[in-house]
A and B are shown apart, each in its own frame.
Chain A
Amino acid sequence: MKPEPAPKMLSARWQEMRGTKTLLSAIAVILIYFWASAGLGINVTQFTSGETWRQMGDLVIRMGPFYRINSCKDAQTAWGNDEPVAGKPNPAKVQAVCDQGKTEYLWYPDYIGEQWAYAKQSSDPLLTTFKMAILGSFLGALFAVPFSLLAARNLVKSKAVYYTVRTFNNLVRTIPDLVLASVLTGMFGLGAIPAIGALAIFSFALVAKMASESIEAIDPGPLEAMQACGANRLQQIRYGVVPQVLPQYLSYTLYVLEVDVRASTVLGLVGAGGIGQLLYADLNLMRYRNVGAIVVVLLISVLLVDIVSTKLRERLV
């Protein structure tokens, strides 16, 4: 056995990094950034204007339980009644709204109850989202089995088959999920089926790529032993490949489920059903408090799926 080469000294690495090669690549990178920012019509000075920040802040605040007072009339309804919306009327604020055209946001706890009710209502579409993700990842992972076997260099002798399947897997992987969903909804109409189809194709490509890579990395020993005693191809795969890659394959499937839950929240944008669709309906109607409620529901559920899937995957591999 050859001795391993000594690890490069850090100082040497540093010296290397300061060489002309680095200088050239740094210049190349800077040029790329210059090119990238050219012709996009980006106006960075927008950020110095308060209006930009006010607009974004307005959107974010309106997702919370706040009563927005935008005009003198709003101030009237907020404070003019016998039961003021948010505490005692504040003369300074009324003046700011009426005279200077300012916008005031009042903390209004009643909206929290409203948002909570809406969040509970949205549990149904949320379940639909989960269902779509589960079916999508399951179907995708299932279809990925033959394609990952055929895209593994150590199992397929024919170069033509190997490269064709591999190229196919890679090509499918390049299509973004939202694009898939919009094309499929265009073809098959609205609803869950095109969304599941899109998620399935998307998960298929991810699992096929990752699984074929782990098949290529298996220990060839058991495979050779079985070849030596005359096992056929299927037997080789069943007893030589499957036991080695099954935990990883399951782990990829869980990972894809995680990705699918995140993706199906966005698929609603193209009318694919689930909580995403509710979200965009509220966005279009500018019901920002509902949007806020859904976003919180989304954050919690995606975080939960992340945690569960990570824990399961840790046990698997």
Chain B
Amino acid sequence: MTAVWRKYASTFWLLVTALLIYWSTTGLVSHTTSFKETWPQTLHIFSQMFVHAEWSYMPELAGKLLETIQMAILGTLLASILAVPFGFLAAKNTAKKLAVAGKFLLDLIRVFPEVILAIIFIKGVGPGPLAGILAMGFHSVGMLGKLYSESVEAIDRGPMEALVSTGASRIQQVWFAVIPQVLPEFASYAIYRFEINSRAATVLGIVGAGGIGAPLIFAIQARAWNRVGIILIGIIVVVTAIDFLSGWLRKKLV
């Protein structure tokens, strides 16, 4: 049995995948017209977006992009603070049996879409950047907490035991043995999450949570493609710059 299975396993999985993909193509409703008809229009849209981009929108765009970055920074700050207790709660060596529950809780937070969180927060604090910051802050706890817990699990027990043997208190143990080990990694993960959040922040405005998303969705709805183009260019430039900066910073940290 196992020999036969081993021989045909890859064929079997290939077949399953093919069937899955075939099933996915069935019954999809779409209101698109044929590509042949839309082709000239698409070309027109692209030329509007990138050749005739609305450069005069730059000053306003810069302000909105800055707001987006500010949101991402504050959202990440909130998350990186909230995630610390979760990180220790979900680590096997600190939370013992509770760790499973902690991990599940983090998974649950992670699957809750940011945009829905943003809508809930908008209800409370009104539309604007604050709702976006809160949404990112809570959503990011899922991933950051998980990464934090992994680096807490990977700490070296040596320094901790040494401190215990000298009679250090619990707080002293954490302060001198745990924090120096995990802090650079925590910071590195937070910066990585900032990278992701700066992307998410460009989207949150679509539901009214501040940042560049709102002007973008208005421009798309109004089919003002030259404005859509300049906004897209702005997003690409900013996100690329943040990618580089965050990569450089993280290389220095760990």
Contact = CB atoms under 8 A, between A and B. Distances in A.
B29 A191 contact: yes
Contacts of B235: 174-176, 179
Contacts of B74: 33, 36-37, 40
A193 interface: yes
Which residue among A170, A179, A182, A188 has the maximum number of chain B CB atoms within 10 Å of its CB? Answer: A179
B103 to A, nearest CB: 12
A182 B216 contact: yes
Contacts of A55: 123-124
A130 B228 CA distance: 29
A247 to B, nearest CB: 11
Contacts of B166: none
A52 interface: yes
B48 to A, nearest CB: 11
A182 B123 contact: no
Interface stretch (A87-95, A108-116, A131-139): A131-139
A232 interface: no
A10 B129 contact: no
Nearest to A139: B21
Given A36-B70, A174-B240, A191 B232 contact: no
Contact of A270 (B29, B38, B206): B206
B240 A192 contact: no
Contact of B25 (A135, A191, A302): A135
Q: Give the residue among A40, A134, A270, A298 with the most B Cβ atoms within 10 A.
A: A40
A10 B124 contact: no
A186 B226 CA distance: 13
Given A32-B73, A191-B29, A174 B199 contact: yes
A13 interface: yes
Interface in A150-196: 170-171, 174-179, 182-183, 186-194, 196
A58 interface: yes
Given A174-B236, A262-B113, A187 B31 contact: no
Point out which of B115, B120, B200 has the most chain A C-beta atoms below 10 A from its C-beta. B115
Interface residues of A, number: 64
A265 to B, nearest CB: 6
B111 A186 contact: no
A231 interface: no
B185 interface: no
Q: Which of B27, B41, B203 has the most chain A CB atoms closer than 10 A to its own CB?
A: B203
Interface string A280-317: 00010000000000010011001100100000000000
Interface of A is mostly: helix
A46 interface: yes
Contacts of B84: none
A266 B33 CA distance: 24
B85 interface: no
B38 A171 contact: no
Contacts of A39: 67, 70
Interface in B88-143: 107-108, 111-116, 119-121, 123-126, 128-130, 133
A35 B70 contact: yes
Contact of A36 (B41, B45, B73): B73
Contacts of A131: 23-28
A298 B31 contact: no
A192 B29 contact: yes
A254 to B, nearest CB: 11
Nearest to B237: A174
Contact of A182 (B30, B119, B217): B217
Interface of B: 20-21, 23-33, 38, 41-42, 45, 67, 69-71, 73-74, 77, 107-108, 111-116, 119-121, 123-126, 128-130, 133, 156, 159, 176-177, 180-181, 183, 199-200, 202-203, 206-207, 210, 213, 216-217, 220, 223, 225, 228, 232, 235-236, 239-240, 243
10 contacts: A10-B156, A36-B73, A52-B124, A179-B202, A187-B42, A189-B32, A190-B30, A191-B29, A192-B29, A269-B206
> What are the 10 A-B residue pairs with the smallest beta carbon separation, nearest first?
A191-B30, A56-B124, A174-B239, A131-B24, A36-B73, A302-B111, A192-B28, A36-B70, A178-B203, A134-B24
